[in-house]
Structure 1
Amino acid sequence: MTCGDLIDLQVNGYAGVDFNSDDLTEEQFLEACRRLHSDGVKRFLPTLITDRLETLAARAQKLARFIERNRDVTRVVAGIHLEGPFISPQPGYVGAHPAGAVRTATVDEALRLVDACDGHAKLVTLAPEHDDGCKTIRALVDRGVRVSAGHCNPTLDQLDQAIDAGLSMFTHLGNGCPLSLPRHDNIIQRVLSCSQRLWVCFIADGVHVPFFALQNYLDAAGLDRAIVVSDAISAAGGGVGEHWLAGQRVHVDADYATWSEDRSHLVGSALSLPQAYTNLRNRLGLSDEEAIRLTRLNPAAAIGEGL
């Protein structure tokens, strides 16, 4: 097993290519896939973030066509990750997603987006507290789609109910939440208390979560249930400067932090998963076996990807 065998469950763009752009071409997507593969990512989930339902469905249909038409794309893309639009609209929890496009989860609309993926929907991130009776979670799981909570603030009871309904993951814990939280009863503590029943994902760039905090989270969640993702945007594989995500201008600073235009919040990351792997080894002191578990074995198990 080598660092080149990695699986990334959250990639919004790469090497100057924004997967959420309406102008995305097949050649651009193919080039991004080739760059990801050459940089050490064996398989990944292109990730589409919140937008109007019609826009999101059109983007999903386009990705599905690219996957079906090109063998070089098919061998790298493990499926499509829909991160939204069924998330929390509340400030902080909504993160970089456009709050005006956020929707309460319904079975019909969720399955419409899944159908637009033409069999390639692999993962949906939603807010359990905005899914009445967990009906959408159950419907997605029945379709063979994994469901992750994220950009959300469910109570512990709501989180337990969602897990019972089939929720199996949490998207980038420690992010997609306000800078200030209640001391004890907050989304981070609730998820960590359920970590033996969930795959818990983290961004290991030292910016979204400081490395000392990431170490604490990994100790609490346990390496057997933790996953590291990049949450990469078009800036990943590039450098300092201006980049884009779904029409939003993103500034990458000298520390490779990806700031919104008004510098109020982070927007994805400029991280690649192999860089995250290196951070796990060099900044957290994990062994090669442990780092591989977080960036290869656990992601594969979480989405049913054969090794």
Structure 2
Amino acid sequence: MNHVDLQVNGYAGVDFNGNELSTEQAKHACDVMRSHEVDRCLATVITDSMNAMCARISRIVDAIEADDEVATTIAGIHVEGPFLSPLDGYAGAHPKSEIRAATIDDAERLLDAGRGHVRLVTLAPEQDPNGITTRWLHDREIIVAAGHTNASLDELDVAIDSGLSMFTHLGNACPSSIPRHDNIVQRVLSRASRLSISFIADGFHIPMMALGNYLQCVPDKNIVIVSDAISAAGLGPGTYALAGQNVHVDDDGAAWAECRTHFAGCATSVQTMAEKLRQELKIDEARIRAWTQTNPARLLEGK
């Protein structure tokens, strides 16, 4: 099955957020991804200083424009941050010191660094009052997703009305303890008919039982499976780099931040996630194909 993965921070020892990313490294990551049945992906750049993010975006673009195989596999760039919630739990692995409110000027800097290759931006709606930056991005045919957010229902609705069309890895990037009923997971599920929603289906970020419940709340056409893969993906247990941080992968494949209080990306391939959906949740092949291939491809094609 030819998967399309909208969130890949790195793969096979290569960190797309690395300050020394080379075309050869990017090609190696793409070669291994294809061997793991991912034909297209969005290389993901996470929060750092604007200068660092722009430089990292530019290096990925250099690799795309220098090598046809990289260009075939990396369909574009997913910018995750820096317009995220700085609150504990919601920030996740993103450095709070570099998180900021959304502005058109900063968004334009990120898009300029991407030279036409930025396809998806994840932001927190509460960091974009009145949806001004969301609307600006949407008008430039950028997919705008909410994520790392504790947006209220009203803030979500404003963002949706301004062009927000997706939510990034629901069930993660929020504290382990949240209000019982009125929380970001329930708010987003209540808008599942209006948003494509991505999930990390590795069994660690969301227990498979809970994931099964979430999936029943979302129309099939709006479900997208993402890996959120880091450089450790495809390598097994060990300590690996992610945007200047060290991430530890346990024997069971869970990828932890150094502080061990939260996950930091994922070391599981979409290929393995599809097998977990098949075996543990008894999801049929047609839905797995839709969630890992058809739906994300449709988003990339702007349909």
The two structures have a TM-score, normalised by structure 1, of 0.97
- Pairs aligned (count): 303
Q: Does 1:207 align with 2:204?
A: yes
Q: What is residue 54 of structure 1 aligned with on the other side?
A: 51
The two structures have a TM-score, normalised by structure 2, of 0.98
CA–CA distance in structure 1, aligned partners of residues 93 and 185 of structure 2: 19
CA–CA distance in structure 1, aligned partners of residues 144 and 187 of structure 2: 17
- For the aligned residue pairs, the C-alpha RMSD in angstroms reads 1.0
Q: Does 1:275 align with 2:272?
A: yes
Q: What is residue 29 of structure 2 aligned with on the other side?
A: 32
Please tell me the residue identity of whatever aligns with 1:132. P
CA–CA distance in structure 1, aligned partners of residues 121 and 219 of structure 2: 23
| Match for residue 62 of structure 2 among 58, 65, 69 | 65
Q: What is residue 122 of structure 1 aligned with on the other side?
A: 119
> Shift of the alpha carbon at 1:245?
0.4
Please tell me the residue identity of whatever aligns with 1:156. L
Q: Does 1:254 align with 2:251?
A: yes
CA–CA distance in structure 1, aligned partners of residues 124 and 270 of structure 2: 25
> Shift of the alpha carbon at 1:222?
2.5
1:2-25 deviation per Cα after TM superposition (whole angstroms, max 9, x unaligned)? x2x110000000001111010111
Q: Does 1:22 align with 2:19?
A: yes
Query: Which runs of no fewer than 5 residues in structure 1 stay unpaired?
Result: none
Q: What is residue 87 of structure 2 aligned with on the other side?
A: 90
1:91-110 deviation per Cα after TM superposition (whole angstroms, max 9, x unaligned)? 00000101101010001101
Q: What is residue 8 of structure 2 aligned with on the other side?
A: 11
CA–CA distance in structure 2, aligned partners of residues 263 and 303 of structure 1: 34
* Residues 305 and 141 (structure 1), Cα distance of their counterparts in 2 relative to 1, 3 Å cut: closer
CA–CA distance in structure 2, aligned partners of residues 205 and 50 of structure 1: 23
CA–CA distance in structure 1, aligned partners of residues 3 and 302 of structure 2: 12
CA–CA distance in structure 2, aligned partners of residues 264 and 79 of structure 1: 31
Q: Does 1:191 align with 2:194?
A: no
Please tell me the residue identity of whatever aligns with 1:252. V
| Match for residue 163 of structure 1 among 151, 160, 164 | 160
Secondary structure of 2:176's counterpart equals coil
CA–CA distance in structure 1, aligned partners of residues 281 and 108 of structure 2: 40
Identity across aligned pairs (percent)? 51
1:151-178 deviation per Cα after TM superposition (whole angstroms, max 9, x unaligned)? 0011001101100100000000000000
Please tell me the residue identity of whatever aligns with 1:178. P
Runs of 4+ residues deviating >4 angstroms? none
> Shift of the alpha carbon at 1:132?
1.9
Q: Does 1:297 align with 2:282?
A: no
Query: Which runs of no fewer than 5 residues in structure 2 stay unpaired?
Result: none
CA–CA distance in structure 1, aligned partners of residues 246 and 62 of structure 2: 27
1:230-251 deviation per Cα after TM superposition (whole angstroms, max 9, x unaligned)? 0000110110111110111111
Secondary structure of 2:75's counterpart equals coil
CA–CA distance in structure 1, aligned partners of residues 237 and 253 of structure 2: 7
Q: What is residue 140 of structure 2 aligned with on the other side?
A: 143
> Shift of the alpha carbon at 1:225?
1.1
> Shift of the alpha carbon at 1:305?
6.6
CA–CA distance in structure 2, aligned partners of residues 16 and 77 of structure 1: 16
